[in-house]
A and B are shown apart, each in its own frame.
Chain A
Amino acid sequence: MPEPMIRVRDLTKRYQRGGETLTVLNNLKLEMEEGRFYALMGPSGSGKTTLLNLVGGLDSPDSGELIVAGENLAELDNNDLARWRAANVGFVFQGFNLIGVLTARENVELPLKLTPLSAAQRRKQAETALQLVGLGDRMDHRPRQLSGGQEQRVAIARAIATDPKVILADEPTGDLDRKSAEQVLDLLVRLNREFKKTILMVTHDPAAAERAQSIVHLDKGQLGRIEHNQPAVAAK
């Protein structure tokens, strides 16, 4: 059996609040295969975002092992972790998280600055990514001049611009209307199928979760059941 893309072992994460210690993730164990599309569901406050941030190396656990894209994250210092993120992980957030003063193209080019690409190559790759998400005609728009759905697609273009192995999406459709949400989900499914991206998507929406190949349930810091859907269906 091939090495899983994401391997989580005995993962524990606690937060201190006031005098209390809150154990958000408790000895979590999880493995995710390369090239699969996972949906992560669970009640609010169950630790979904926390888990996603840990997998993406944005935060560090109190204990346990995290091996993502072949790298043991505990062994990386802050700077190495940043470099590892730049090369291996693309993030898509609920609130889009685009930089307001930059145009769509500049936002997508931003992570490419961490690669050895030339300015011309960066530009070309950013344009390709924007065309892929259907925004070839909006490249010079600022985030404020775009709809929520368009913003999220720019964010997806940014997440895939460096061609990372893993895409981590935290409620990417949470702020979107049905139609925009569908477009975003179509994109994610396509990235998974055509480009073999491993995707972990947090969602509250069962319909969105249905688009994934597996659904992972998280509750009270523990992993619940894992459902395996029929291989994901690209819409329409």
Chain B
Amino acid sequence: MFKLVFKNLISHPIRSGITAVSVGVALFLICLLTSIVTTLQSGLEAASATRLVVMSSISLFVDIPLSYQERIAKVDGIKNIVKWQWFGGYYQDQKNFFAQFAVDPDRMFEVYPEVKVDEATKQKFLTQRNACIVGSQLAAEFPEWVETGKIPITGALFPHPSGAAWDFELAGVYRSEAANFDNRTLFFRWDLFEETLKGEGEAPGVGVYVMNVEPGADIERMRAEIEGMFENGPATVRCDTESEFTRQFISMLGDIPMFLSWIGAGVLVAILLGAINAMLMAGREQTHDVGILKALGFTDGAAFGLLITQSLILCVFGGVLGIALAAALEAPITLALGAQFPGFFIKDSTYLAAAAVSLVVGLAAGAVPAWTALRVNCVEALRAKGA
């Protein structure tokens, strides 16, 4: 019986091939779209509810004064405070895009324990003024940095007073296992940043302050206190937990996750219709064979099995294809998505879901022809024209 299933499938190599490949491509796309959404979500899930972020109440893109740091640090329950400033430079060419931030080197590792560096790197970053650390993904993209130890970054927002690029020296590579902290960023020291620009006149402002808090601290009280502290200017701020901050940051992407889900659903419906169509054709062609099988003494269940198995084989084969494609392309896709989607990865549960979807599509596509084969009267089936 399996031989008959198999021979029916290969007797229409083009149709079978197209059906399996289209299921495969669709599942690949679904893996991809789902992973974009889950990558965003995992950043959100990993984001800490016990870290606080202070930003301008106007917009993330508006600076807040340097002088706030000391005052915030005094709030009861704050453990460490680190300031971040978006540098917005580029390496050699504008299209080599990645994020760079000026940060307080010493506090950085206190506030973000999930960022791992080796001791030598840490010491160099803490002691050498023009040192920087880069994420492992970024280091892999620009192997020359590790070779030469030099990273010249052109300051697009903050040009170096000399007119040349900022010359950073690589202290080492960091690795973050947390989904909310990507491995594609460069961090350099605030003191270098501030002092280099100070010669030009005005000291730079701060993008955000990030603080970790003492265990058991009353987050809501601290938020209220910090926001209240600067209520009368010079710049008003808002203070959120990191998870809330991340959620808002993601919501700046608007309804993209929802939109992606709709595309995924659309793709799913399209392949389902395609697979149903292919299986209906197969079912019609094999009606006569079903009549023969029943006359020979095969049961109605066997007739059902003949068609549902073909459908399942096609769709599961397609599913395996799509999952294999996604697994094989995960690394290149992560690279290609790089700056827009640092930390892109495909969850195991996404692969499992894709496998389940291929099974469901197989069952759904085979259901009607298989049920028809089960029900059809033997004499009528024999009257049907054979393939």
Contact = CB atoms under 8 A, between A and B. Distances in A.
A91 B292 CA distance: 9
Interface string A92-130: 010001111110001000110110000000000000000
Nearest to A103: B7
Nearest to B8: A101
A79 B301 CA distance: 9
A145 interface: no
B382 A111 contact: no
Given A97-B382, A101-B4, A102-B7, A110 B296 contact: yes
B295 A106 contact: no
A79 B378 contact: no
A87 interface: yes
Nearest to A56: B295
B300 A106 contact: no
Contact of B4 (A78, A86, A99): A99
Contact of B295 (A79, A84, A91, A101): A91
Nearest to B302: A82
B289 A58 contact: no
Contacts of A83: 297, 299
Nearest to A107: B292
Contact of B297 (A86, A100, A101, A106): A86
Contact of A87 (B7, B297, B377): B297
Contacts of B386: 100
B300 A82 contact: yes
Interface string B347-387: 00000000000000000000000000000011100100011
A85 B386 CA distance: 22
B3 A111 contact: no
Contacts of A110: 4, 293, 296
A59 interface: yes
Contacts of B301: 79
A102 B379 contact: no
Interface in A165-199: none
Interface in B281-339: 288-289, 291-301
B11 interface: yes
A46 interface: no
A84 B7 CA distance: 27
B1 interface: yes
A114 B298 contact: yes
Contacts, number: 65
Contacts of B3: 102, 106
B295 A85 contact: yes
B300 A99 contact: no
B154 to A, nearest CB: 67
Q: How large is the interface on A (under 10, 10 to 19, 20 to 34, 35 or more residues)?
A: 20 to 34
Contacts of B293: 110
Contact of A82 (B291, B298, B382): B298
A99 B286 CA distance: 9
B303 to A, nearest CB: 10
B292 A99 contact: yes
Interface in B1-36: 1, 3-4, 7-8, 11
Nearest to B9: A101
Contacts of A131: none
B304 to A, nearest CB: 12
Contacts of B299: 78-79, 82-83
Nearest to A98: B292
A86 B7 CA distance: 23
B295 A97 contact: yes
A53 interface: yes
A113 B386 CA distance: 22
A101 B294 CA distance: 17
Contacts of A114: 296-298
B11 to A, nearest CB: 5
Interface string A131-163: 000000000000000000000000000100000
A156 to B, nearest CB: 14
A85 B293 CA distance: 11
B382 A93 contact: yes
B4 A82 contact: no
A53 B297 CA distance: 13
B382 A100 contact: no
B250 to A, nearest CB: 53
A78 B294 CA distance: 10
B297 A78 contact: no
B118 to A, nearest CB: 63
Contacts of B379: 53, 58-59
16 contacts: A56-B295, A58-B294, A78-B299, A82-B294, A82-B299, A85-B295, A85-B296, A85-B297, A91-B296, A97-B288, A97-B295, A97-B382, A99-B289, A102-B3, A102-B4, A102-B7
Interface of B: 1, 3-4, 7-8, 11, 288-289, 291-301, 377-379, 382, 386-387
Closest 9 CB pairs of A and B: A86-B297, A85-B297, A101-B7, A111-B296, A101-B11, A82-B299, A58-B378, A79-B299, A82-B297
